[in-house]
């Protein structure tokens, strides 16, 4: 008879009310001491562990906590410190934060997306580094849980192959050599954990869900053979997630004691039927979605578990979420304002762990033991499925009438750009920002007062107009060519639209970490999406009335809204994406009708939704391109469409970006230190482009010379007539003083380069 054990892969680090964020930002602003930072975060960390124990989780992860990012934690533990920071104390928390955020002397390390999620990790830099074990961080947290709470946790490590594959600073032919240099460090960490009493150690290798080459999978086999030989007393759980493991036949034969597979996002039954599952290994089965917030249909989950048992014949099956719960909010218990039908259908981290323990109980004791929970789950699912959210016939009709032909602009780019240039009369190397401007404490507190009903709608609108007017004047004084209204009325670039489009719902406390202390509150897509009235026109038109310079209309694109929302699992994603696109098209046309001549439709998450398996990319890209064009292609040729992307592997999706047919694209390059520019040396791009010339995720103010260097490097491969100058992302998280200083240097850089360019001509 199969024995079932409940487990978790990782828990949200931010706290139900973002206590973690508050502690970090208080420390960065020097309003609390280092000792207080450590004390506050330890209290939260222990509370998270105790909560999991109280819910009934048997295998509780430790070392899943982080002050910023778990990949950066791994790098610091192994002495992987960028050369520009190596003069600093490697054990100091300020060194850690300097690498993540930059300091006055050095730029921050590159930041990019963790596989196909909205979580950002700090990219390790392996050049000029000899790895060494600076600290066994996993051991420290294992001992803390054991000594403080009596919890013998399951230490979690980022696996060596994933860590090195996600790093930079080496050539492809050095991969084996670099990975080998980390093996002694991993074996030391593991042996010290075993000696301290760790019974199982989870090694995360999500890279196994990507298209590894034959040589790379051979390296994986070699690595784990060496690790197992050097750690004979360790029980190793090789954990994969996000998608079906490539080279399944080889992965299940690796010399580890357990294999973790994601049965929510991975298609494993054909592989198990053909190849089987090894009887000498424990199976850790991800059976509850760790990346979405919707309540599991426990009857289907229970059936899935029985199907897994029957297919694998495994003696021990660990039941767990499909991935770390880092990607979902903490608990739904604080939600008071949402429709009860929707609330009953939600499941955040705490509720997901309760689902895991319930299914584990049923698997061990029989279905009758959880009969009440099964019935309650079924009732909640039926209520949402039959709700009015799913009955919008007009949306279905509009989709049915949508032409299946290619959606495209009325004129090709070469013709319409001439018309736009005649209308706009912008200088060479025009300057702009990406959209949002600093959201100060006053902006946030005023919004909170408005939401609580402490000030009237009229008072709030007057405040927003005052902020807009102030920043239009600041932008004019700085001499920016294309202005933005600042988005002071918006909490978040996706949540804002979720509050205004039909088919969405928003939470009060559904926060999820995006990068560093930056948390977002993804809206919920519960049913058919549609547009009912203008969402952005009033604010943009007001801003435009204050200046003779063009003010961009600012929208979030359909792909990003989809990828940064929690879409109910019963809804077909590509169908929802086209519904969003149709809604946005109405907003774009409303802006155009109001004489807004530049409209930016941001798609920072276009690449994020990519399946890990590249064979699935064409279908995804076709749907994404079509949705963007639906939203933006029906404007007049004289209306200039911009888009923005951040932290994308631009070289991999160059043709797709071109196919969007936006007139101007802005894209992040500052944190990758201009590496993206290399793409243009081998690809011809005929549209206009702004490569972010400084990093807004760092509080440091770049010098004029530093920005000029970024600009001039780009102009070696990109025609100056195509080039726009802008920061690499929105400025809402930055302070007013640093924002103005950085923009002033950016404008000065642009002017100097223009003059130099004119002299050369």
**CATH number for the domain including 198?**
3.20.20.210
**Residue from 48, 43, 75 nearest 64 by CA:** 48
Rounded to whole angstroms, the Cα distance separating 415 from 629 reads 18
**Secondary element (H or E) of residue 257:** none
**Residue from 194, 198, 186, 191 nearest 153 by CA:** 198
106: containing domain? 59-156+168-203+225-239
Bridge-partner residues for 113, per DSSP? 120
Which pair of structure tokens corresponds to residue 274?
């053909």
Catalytic residue check, 697: yes
> How open is the CA angle 14-30-446, to the nearest 5 degrees?
65
Task: For 596-691, list the strands marked E by DSSP.
Answer: 598-602, 640-645, 664-667, 688-691
**Tens digit of pLDDT for each residue in 561-575?**
999 999 999 999 999
Indicate whether 469 belongs to any domain: yes
**Secondary element (H or E) of residue 165:** helix 160-165
Q: Who contacts 108 (Cβ-Cβ below 8 Å, separation ≥6)?
A: 98, 99, 100, 101, 102, 122, 671, 695, 697, 698, 700
Bridge-partner residues for 640, per DSSP? 598
Known binding positions for 5-methyltetrahydropteroyltri-L-glutamate: 18-21, 113, 518-519, 564, 608
- Contact between residue 180 and residue 218 where contact means Cβ atoms under 8 Å apart: no
Residue 20 Rama label (left phi>0; alpha psi -120 to 50; beta): alpha
Bridge-partner residues for 318, per DSSP? 5, 284
Which residue reads 């007539």 in tokens? 721
CA distances from 415 to 588, 635, 638, 687, 699 (A): 21, 14, 10, 11, 41
Structurally, how many domains does the chain consist of? 2
Look at residue 635 in the predicted model and tell me its pLDDT. Answer: 97
Q: What is the mean pLDDT of each run of 10 residues along the chain (761 residues)?
A: 95 97 97 98 98 98 98 98 93 96 90 91 94 97 98 98 97 95 98 98 97 96 98 98 96 98 97 96 98 97 97 96 98 95 97 98 96 96 92 85 83 96 96 93 92 93 96 97 95 92 96 95 96 96 97 97 95 95 97 97 88 92 95 96 77 83 84 60 82 81 91 87 92 91 95 84 57
Alpha-carbon Rg of the chain, whole angstroms? 26
Look at residue 673 in the predicted model and tell me its pLDDT. Answer: 47
Of residues 70, 381, 642, 697, which has the active-site annotation? 697
Side-chain-facing half-sphere of 175: CA atoms under 13 Å: 19
Rounded to whole angstroms, the Cα distance separating 526 from 502 reads 9
Indicate whether 587 belongs to any domain: yes
CB-based burial of residue 300 (10 Å sphere; 0-12 exposed, 13-18 middle, 19+ buried)? middle
Which one-letter DSSP state was computed for residue 13?
A: S
**Tens digit of pLDDT for each residue in 574-597?**
999 999 999 999 999 999 999 999
Look at residue 19 in the predicted model and tell me its pLDDT. Answer: 97
The backbone torsions φ and ψ at residue 471, rounded to the nearest 5 degrees and listed phi first, read -80, -25
Indicate whether 128 belongs to any domain: yes
Known binding positions: 18-21, 113, 434-436, 487, 518-519, 564, 602, 608, 644, 646, 668, 729
Rounded to whole angstroms, the Cα distance separating 597 from 600 reads 10
The backbone torsions φ and ψ at residue 678, rounded to the nearest 5 degrees and listed phi first, read -55, -30
Which residue reads 């102009």 in tokens? 715
Which one-letter DSSP state was computed for residue 295?
A: P
Q: Who contacts 274 (Cβ-Cβ below 8 Å, separation ≥6)?
A: none
CA distances from 164 to 123, 125, 368, 613 (A): 10, 9, 47, 19
Number of alpha helices (DSSP H) and beta strands (DSSP E) in the chain: 27, 21
**Tens digit of pLDDT for each residue in 61-117?**
999 999 999 999 999 999 999 999 999 999 999 999 999 999 988 989 998 889 999
First to last CA, the chain: 81
CA distances from 632 to 320, 399, 422, 666, 668 (A): 42, 16, 21, 16, 22
Which one-letter DSSP state was computed for residue 252?
A: T
Q: Who contacts 514 (Cβ-Cβ below 8 Å, separation ≥6)?
A: 118, 119, 120, 520
Indicate whether 23 belongs to any domain: no
Known binding positions for L-methionine: 434-436, 487, 602
Rounded to whole angstroms, the Cα distance separating 365 from 309 reads 15
Indicate whether 177 belongs to any domain: yes
Which pair of structure tokens corresponds to residue 724?
């726009």
Which one-letter DSSP state was computed for residue 346?
A: B
Rounded to whole angstroms, the Cα distance separating 648 from 606 reads 8
Which pair of structure tokens corresponds to residue 598?
């530049």
Indicate whether 433 belongs to any domain: yes
Q: Please report which residue ranges of 293-339 form alpha helices under DSSP H.
A: 298-312
Look at residue 491 in the predicted model and tell me its pLDDT. Answer: 86
Which one-letter DSSP state was computed for residue 379?
A: H
Indicate whether 752 belongs to any domain: yes
Q: Please report which residue ranges of 235-282 form alpha helices under DSSP H.
A: 248-251, 269-275
Which one-letter DSSP state was computed for residue 115?
A: T
Bridge-partner residues for 294, per DSSP? 346
**Tens digit of pLDDT for each residue in 663-712?**
999 987 655 545 566 666 667 788 999 988 888 877 889 899 999 988 98
Rounded to whole angstroms, the Cα distance separating 642 from 724 reads 11
Rounded to whole angstroms, the Cα distance separating 136 from 263 reads 32
Indicate whether 684 belongs to any domain: yes
Task: For 582-701, list the strands marked E by DSSP.
Answer: 598-602, 640-645, 664-667, 688-691
CA distances from 723 to 43, 97, 409, 713 (A): 50, 33, 22, 12
Query: Which of 239, 267, 284 is a domain's end point?
Result: 239
The number of beta carbons lying within 10 Å of the beta carbon of residue 7 is: 27
Look at residue 75 in the predicted model and tell me its pLDDT. Answer: 98
Rounded to whole angstroms, the Cα distance separating 603 from 409 reads 18
Rounded to whole angstroms, the Cα distance separating 72 from 75 reads 5
- Contact between residue 461 and residue 527 where contact means Cβ atoms under 8 Å apart: no
**Residue from 478, 472, 467, 458 nearest 440 by CA:** 467
């Amino acid at each position: 008879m199969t024995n079932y054990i409940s487990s978790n892969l990782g828990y949200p680090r931010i706290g139900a009310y973002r206590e973690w964020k508050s502690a970090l930002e208080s420390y960065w602003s020097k309003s609390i001491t280092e000792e207080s930072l450590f004390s506050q975060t330890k209290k939260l960390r222990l509370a998270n562990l105790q909560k999991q124990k109280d819910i009934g989780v048997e295998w509780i992860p430790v070392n899943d906590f982080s002050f910023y990012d778990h990949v950066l934690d791994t790098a610091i533990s192994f002495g992987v410190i960028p050369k520009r920071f190596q003069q600093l104390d490697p054990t100091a928390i300020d060194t850690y934060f300097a690498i993540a955020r930059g300091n006055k002397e050095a730029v921050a390390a590159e930041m990019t997306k963790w596989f196909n999620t909205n979580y950002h990790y700090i990219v390790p830099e392996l050049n000029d580094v000899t790895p060494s074990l600076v600290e066994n961080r996993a051991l420290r947290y294992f001992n803390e849980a054991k000594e403080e709470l009596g919890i013998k946790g399951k230490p979690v490590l980022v696996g060596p192959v994933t860590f090195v594959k996600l790093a930079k600073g080496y050539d492809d032919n050095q991969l084996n050599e670099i990975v080998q240099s980390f093996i002694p460090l991993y074996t030391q960490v593991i042996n010290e954990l075993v000696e301290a009493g760790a019974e199982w150690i989870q090694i995360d290798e999500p890279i196994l869900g990507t298209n590894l080459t034959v040589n790379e999978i051979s390296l994986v086999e070699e690595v784990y053979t060496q690790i197992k030989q050097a750690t004979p007393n360790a029980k190793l759980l090789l954990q994969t997630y996000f998608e079906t493991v490539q080279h399944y036949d080889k992965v299940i034969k690796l010399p580890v004691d357990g294999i973790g597979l994601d049965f929510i996002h991975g298609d494993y039954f054909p592989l198990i039927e053909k190849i089987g599952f090894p009887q000498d290994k424990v199976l850790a089965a991800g059976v509850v979605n760790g990346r979405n917030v919707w309540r599991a249909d426990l009857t289907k989950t229970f059936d899935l578990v029985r199907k897994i048992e029957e297919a694998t014949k495994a003696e021990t099956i660990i039941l767990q979420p499909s991935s770390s719960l880092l990607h979902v909010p903490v608990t739904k218990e604080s939600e008071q304002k949402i429709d009860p039908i929707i609330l009953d259908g939600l499941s955040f981290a705490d509720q997901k762990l309760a689902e895991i323990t319930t299914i584990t109980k049923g698997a061990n004791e029989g279905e009758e033991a959880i009969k009440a929970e099964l019935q309650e789950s079924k009732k909640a699912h039926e209520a949402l499925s039959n709700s009015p959210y799913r009955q919008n016939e007009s949306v279905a009709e509009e989709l049915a009438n949508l032409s299946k032909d290619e959606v495209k602009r009325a004129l090709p780019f070469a013709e319409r750009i001439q018309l736009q240039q005649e209308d706009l009369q912008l200088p060479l190397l025009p300057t702009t920002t990406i959209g949002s401007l600093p959201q100060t404490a006053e902006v946030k507190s005023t919004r909170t007062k408005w939401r609580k009903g402490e000030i009237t709608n009229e008072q709030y609108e007057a405040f927003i107009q005052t902020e807009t007017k102030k920043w239009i004047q600041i932008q004019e004084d700085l001499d920016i060519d294309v202005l933005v209204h600042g988005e002071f009325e918006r909490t978040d670039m996706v949540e804002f639209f979720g509050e205004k489009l039909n088919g969405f719902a928003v939470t009060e406390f559904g926060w999820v970490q995006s990068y560093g202390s930056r948390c977002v509150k993804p809206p919920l897509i519960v049913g058919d999406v549609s547009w009912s009235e203008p969402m952005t026109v009033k604010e943009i038109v007001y801003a435009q009335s204050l200046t003779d310079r063009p003010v961009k209309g600012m929208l979030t694109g359909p792909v990003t809204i989809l990828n940064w929302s929690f879409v109910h699992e019963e809804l077909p994603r590509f169908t929802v994406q086209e519904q969003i696109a149709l809604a946005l098209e109405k907003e774009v046309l409303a802006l155009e009708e109001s004489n807004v001549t530049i409209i930016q439709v941001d798609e920072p998450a276009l690449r994020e939704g990519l399946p890990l398996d590249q064979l699935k990319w064409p279908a995804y890209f076709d749907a994404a391109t079509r949705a963007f064009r639906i939203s933006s292609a029906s404007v007049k040729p004289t209306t200039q469409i911009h888009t923005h992307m951040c932290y994308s592997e631009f070289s991999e999706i160059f043709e797709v970006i071109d196919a969007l047919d936006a007139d101007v694209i802005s894209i992040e390059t500052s944190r990758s230190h201009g590496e993206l520019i290399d793409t243009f040396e081998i690809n011809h791009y005929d549209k206009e482009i702004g490569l972010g010339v400084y990093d807004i995720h760092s509080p440091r103010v770049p010098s004029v010379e530093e920005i000029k260097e970024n600009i001039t490097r780009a102009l070696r491969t990109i025609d100056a007539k195509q080039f726009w100058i802008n920061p690499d992302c929105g400025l809402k998280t930055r302070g007013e003083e640093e924002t103005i200083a950085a923009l002033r240097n950016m404008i000065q850089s642009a002017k100097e380069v223009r003059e130099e360019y004119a002299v050369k001509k």
